[in-house]
Amino acid sequence: MKIGVFDSGVGGLSVLKALYEARLFEEVVYYGDTARVPYGVKDKDTIIKFCLEALEFFKNIKIDMLIIACNTASAYALDILRSKANFPIYGVIDAGVEATKREILDKNKEILVIATKATIKSKEYELRLKKEGFKNVKALATGLFVPMVEEEIFEGEFLQSAFNYYFKGLQSPDALILACTHFPLLAKSLSEYFGAKTKLIHSGDAIVNFLKTHSQLKSLKTKAKLEFYASSDVQSLKNTAKIWLDLHTKDIQ
């Protein structure tokens, strides 16, 4: 099976990493809209427009399934993308909500969703989690984390200052939903900041479990062949992929 993975930039590589290591597919094509990242500060119509353009790219390379790794794109464009595609499309929000239900059994536990401004504005996580019975759900826009990850700032004083800016006065939640594909790259630092009490939930692990459950996919013996495309500077994307996924040059195209 050949699938596509779409993200607004390099952040979706955190989802790709989980999919790659799960060995669910023979071929994976990743497309990052690096020329127009981030999506999280853009309006709904612009986000949908960019996503539809990405869909045309994937239609031309004949994939069997598309994963929308970007939470912002999943929040605003998933339904319209599905209406215009002849292959299944999955977004990471459905997977994230399902993962939260699986990991947090007590519906009274405190859940904090962190994401881009646009994802938070959509209220998709809050509405879906409350519909599932969760009573203490808070959401916080932490958009500065996106450019930090793009600049490969994963720890250190600058990041801690951002943590203090966003999280000052907050108690450690029982669950922290990393509702942006960039944020798993900050997982180690976030865990250290909030402590062992806080369970981190992110899109990569969530989508793997979601696909295994709903698409009845099983692990293959060999890892997928990877292809990378970008709207700007594809070589930089490939270089980042080699580091984040621990790849050799022969592993990617």
Catalytic residue among 37, 177, 178, 180: 180
3-state secondary structure of 202: strand
Question: What are the φ/ψ torsions at residue 140 (nearest 5 degrees)?
Answer: -140, 125
Check if the beta carbon of residue 178 is closer than 8 Å to that of residue 114. Answer: yes
Catalytic residue among 70, 129, 178, 226: 70
CA–CA dist 18, 20 (Å, integer): 5
Residues contacting residue 141 through CB under 8 Å, at least 6 positions apart? 114, 115, 116, 117, 119, 120, 121
Question: Quick one: which of 38, 32, 74, 37 has its CA closest to 57?
Answer: 32
Whether residue 51 lies in the annotated active site:
no
Question: Quick one: which of 134, 183, 147, 190 has its CA closest to 167?
Answer: 190
* Residues labelled catalytic: 70, 180
